[in-house]
Structure 1
């Protein structure tokens, strides 16, 4: 046995020993088939890595290039048309066979998975949560909504809901004049209301200015004549005609739900869609809390 072989075997033994030490120190249960397969794979990788390294290092010391030189060469420097090394080819084929076995027998794709268990447990918990808080009173919903807001919304909208001084939407005021003008100019086709997309440029010039000032001012005072274009979808009172369009007069449950599920473009960037991260009760609680946020 030459020195290189001895060093290689020693290195492999150290790798295997380190792997066993880590497994024991972490109290990993090797009776679990997945853990056992992983352990066997780690040992196999250590042995194969050292064995292949020793083989090719020895070859580099003794072998000389030979065979038919490919046409793409320069002054004799190029690749030879040699067959693929048998060890490499058989290893690759063995990997493919092992992969097919692993997917179909060792760990079938339709068998137990931790992610699947987690999803089932979350689904069951959400069902219990919904049943427990189905008829929650306003105080409970507000308290629950505040907790949700501080975790999910405050990083962008601020703990007080002021939008971090204008960087995101300010919940203490329904909408600013600039925000209304931006929606009038660009339209809206993201929130998924039954009425569909709001086309851009529904009003221009002074009409757009009057509408923006009226909506941003809480829809108080004399309604501008140009607001008739808005009332056709949002209703004369701006409350969205029972969920058919967005409520531009107040933060209601339908608006909060649609924004959370579909996301929304804002000054700070695009708010991602949260999809099913919140249950219906949690969305109702969030809307209840947001309604309590008022500015000075």
Structure 2
């Protein structure tokens, strides 16, 4: 019974035994008193089908037990677990934090190739079960990540809408733009709004800005693409699209898709290096049908 070596567990067990003992003793004494006592005394004004209750004081034992519980609860919350004492959960969190700090120091200056390789390893272990080992989404069962962070991802969102990111502005509907206009908007976002600052279609950027302004994109994402002023969670900040910051939000909050719920990966305690590696791996993938 190694768990008894934890002082907090031991104190909690002793307290529970004490409470149980007091409850049994008090209840036994009151039951005995009820059996021996003869009905007498003042009745209250309450009456249910001819049954009334005596106007008696609260039992002293009950009051004492309640006060002891209140004192114990105050001590437990503010002076024992979890605020000011050892706990196994606290020890685990500290170990994770220490490991992540060592990990980040060791892998802080990886080359791009090494980052991509690390990200591939994380993806295969954590993500491929739903997105497939090629990240194409296993025939629509999950998001096709080969398009993520690229013009193709924006075009797909314009054509099919977006659901499940949990923004206050609601789900993004299908915009109904032509393929040419969608391509232009995607090039403008990647070149001028996103921190990536690069597009495959530089000749489409000016047209894309005009379409962005007239197609209603600014109504949710703001004129600069960073969202509506004073409404941080109204719509996605497009300046983060294609960066690890956008991926970090999805990993932290999860995503509700058309076929199910992607869970939050916050419990995995991914550190910044791992998230950056995963983002670089996904960005290195080529959309389906391209070389």
TM over 0.5: yes
CA deviations over 1:76-131 (Å, ceiling 9, x no partner)? 21333221111111111122223334445556833444333333322222121111
Q: Which residue of 1 aligns with 2:208?
A: 227
CA–CA separation in structure 1 for the residues paired with 2:145 and 2:59: 67
Unaligned runs of 5+ in 1: 1-25, 191-196, 235-239
Q: Does the CA contact (< 8 Å) of 1:264 and 1:271 recur in 2?
A: yes
Q: 1:39 to 1:228 in 2, by over 3 A?
A: closer
CA deviations over 1:53-89 (Å, ceiling 9, x no partner)? 4334434544454433322313421333221111111
Q: How does 1:210-221 map to 2 (within 5 A)?
A: 210-212=180-182
The two structures, once aligned, show a CA RMSD in angstroms of: 4.5
Q: 1:257 to 1:108 in 2, by over 3 A?
A: closer
CA–CA separation in structure 2 for the residues paired with 1:92 and 1:111: 25
Q: Does the CA contact (< 8 Å) of 2:116 and 2:281 recur in 1?
A: yes
Q: 1:279 to 1:56 in 2, by over 3 A?
A: same
CA–CA separation in structure 1 for the residues paired with 2:81 and 2:253: 36
Match of 1:51 among 25, 40, 43: 25
Q: 1:34 to 1:259 in 2, by over 3 A?
A: closer
Q: How does 1:1-296 map to 2 (within 5 A)?
A: 26-29=1-4, 33-103=7-77, 109-173=83-147, 174-175=152-153, 179-183=157-161, 205=176, 207-212=177-182, 223=204, 227-229=208-210, 245-247=239-241, 251-261=242-252, 264=255, 266-268=257-259, 271=262, 274=265, 277-294=269-286, 295-296=288-289
Partner-residue secondary structure (3-state), 1:163 = coil
Could you say which structure has the larger radius of gyration?
Answer: 1
CA–CA separation in structure 2 for the residues paired with 1:272 and 1:253: 18
CA–CA separation in structure 2 for the residues paired with 1:80 and 1:264: 59
TM-score, normalised relative to structure 2: 0.63
Unaligned runs of 5+ in 2: 188-198, 219-224, 227-236
**Structure with the larger RCO, 1 or 2 (CA within 8 Å, 6+ apart):** 2
Aligned-pair distance for 1:272?
A: 5.7
CA–CA separation in structure 1 for the residues paired with 2:64 and 2:8: 25
CA–CA separation in structure 1 for the residues paired with 2:156 and 2:209: 20
Q: Does the CA contact (< 8 Å) of 1:142 and 1:288 recur in 2?
A: yes
TM-score, normalised relative to structure 1: 0.62
Of stretches 112-121 and 254-263 in structure 1, the one that deviates more from structure 2 is: 254-263
Partner-residue secondary structure (3-state), 2:270 = coil
